[in-house]
Structure 1
């Protein structure tokens, strides 16, 4: 089933406007302006509204869109770190510490809200059995915390130690504990888990277009994704499972992901949901922010 996912109303976040390769967002009390390569249209709001942003990110001269390295221009009173709340009618309540990084990120991808809800719901269904969940390329842990809040035994894996510290802060701010933290190369770790014969009831993957492991291991999405998905198939409990994958690389359409999932996971995901994730701004433009696939039995 092909579908589109977007964030449901969330008091502490909104996409205000997008256009001219930028996006204007509110996180809690602060409004930020950041680059967005897929916002190719004109903004809905006048420039005066964009100039009200508390922080504006400017890419370094000569930096390409892939690295996004640059710097923030802050107005007086703008905090470099702050906390926002996330609460849903189904009982999921989380808190996230945000901060201004030199790569335009703030420590949160709000468009993942529908997947957090899916993970929470699927984990709750299995709560009595305390399902094992592996979250790979896990960043600051939104999906990790959704699974843990529903009672899962969660392993959070990211290759960057500082990012794991950030995710741990989010766990503590959300009054949770018990997550297993790993600073590992995801590909090597999955290979070892397959050899050990381990199984998981939940698998979550959010691989970047490229990256480095803690020991300099190279990750290239187009070169390794096919093999990575095959390995993950061996980790998935065939009797009881849920699965979520996101891809942010512009070059990977939902059709490419659908072909991969059909070839590799046909015995598992007979009711696969696949498509695009987007955010809608106040001008009703839909900003695409990646492709996804998810299924459960």
Structure 2
């Protein structure tokens, strides 16, 4: 089933989009930053964007093959703190995310992922209620960034392993865990493919696996990651780690032009237990009802 997922977070708003930019509220602050898929016109005038924005990101360098992020700098129009916290409240879950202005235009959270967080909460709640597990559900979060999916999984009672190649990002995730009054997430600074291949050799199994691979990247020891070259091997190893009876699986793909059908084909070829599957686009809708696509997803679960 092809779906458009448009999550809602009280502390976040996409106020406007267009002319290759987006205007967003994160908690108490409004930011303007580049968005290559916002090819339409802005609904608000440039003057209103300038008045509303606490800070605006301007590109200073181009991309290269293994540094695809847009580098630049933030111009503060209003006094902003070095960091601030944004709340995420959903049902009985109450989390806090530290946000900060980075030279890669990111701030520490991808709000469109809230649609997947709600899926994780639903699936873990079903596992916990089923009585089929002898212990806590085990969740593996790969390319885990600042840990939104890790925190949601932990708050739902899972035993969580969080893997990312960047040590500073792991530290950021730990701050989010502590601010959210959670404990005992397992942190792993390692290349994702190396980690899952080792886990397969050890015979490990996980009830939930979340993958958010970039188009390009480097592991902690300089390992090169190129999405189209590595995705087949990575998915095959991840599927070998998935518990056959009680599971959920989420794959996000941010690379422009990369189809979720590719993921569906690889997964169906290598995992015979696919039952409830869905794919589509992660979408944020601005205040003027313009829909901004922010990546494709493929996910499935045993229940």
Identify whether the pair has TM-score above 0.5, normalized to the shorter chain. Answer: yes
1:80 positional shift: 2.2
Q: Deviations over 1:165-218 (max 9, x none)?
A: 000000011110010000010000111011111111111100000111111011
Answering whether residue 175 of structure 2 is matched by residue 161 of structure 1, we say: no
Match of 1:119 in 2: 120
Gap runs ≥5 in structure 2: none
* 1:259 Cα deviation after fit: 2.4
Q: Provide the residue aligned with 1:292 in structure 2.
A: 297
TM-score, normalised with respect to structure 1: 0.96
Alpha-carbon distance in structure 2 between the residues aligned to 1:61 and 1:158: 25
**TM-score normalised over the length of structure 2:** 0.94
Q: Structure 2: how far apart are the matches of 1:80 and 1:247? A: 30
User: What is the alpha-carbon distance in structure 2 between the residues aligned to residue 13 and residue 202 of structure 1?
Assistant: 27
Offset, 1:268: 2.1
Unmatched 5+ residue regions in structure 1?
none
CA distance in 2 between partners of 1:61 and 1:189 (Å)? 33
Question: What is residue 270 of structure 1 aligned with on the other side?
Answer: 275
- Equivalent residue for 2:82? 80
Offset at residue 63 of structure 1 (A): 4.8
Structure 1 residue ranges (4+ consecutive) displaced by more than 3 angstroms after TM superposition: 61-65
Give 1:135 shift: 0.4
- Mark the CA change 1:84 to 1:21 in structure 2 (over 3 Å): closer, same or farther: same
1:58 maps onto 2:58 in alignment: yes
1:162 positional shift: 0.3
CA distance in 2, matches of 1:278, 1:257: 19
> Does the CA contact (< 8 Å) of 2:282 and 2:295 recur in 1?
yes
8 Å contact from structure 1 (residues 39, 287) kept in 2:
yes
Bigger shift: 122-131 or 112-121? Answer: 122-131
**TM-superposed deviation, 1:121:** 1.8
Counterpart CA distance in 1 for 2:174 and 2:61 is 34
1:112-153 deviation line (CA, Å, top 9, x unaligned): 001111112212222363111110000000000000000000
| Matched ranges for 1:30-41 at <5 A | 30-41=29-40
Distance change in 2, residues 1:49/1:159 (3 Å): same
Q: Residue 187 of structure 2 aligns with which residue? A: 181
CA distance in 2, matches of 1:74, 1:205: 34
Distance (Å, rounded) in 2 between the aligned partners of 1:33 and 1:254: 29
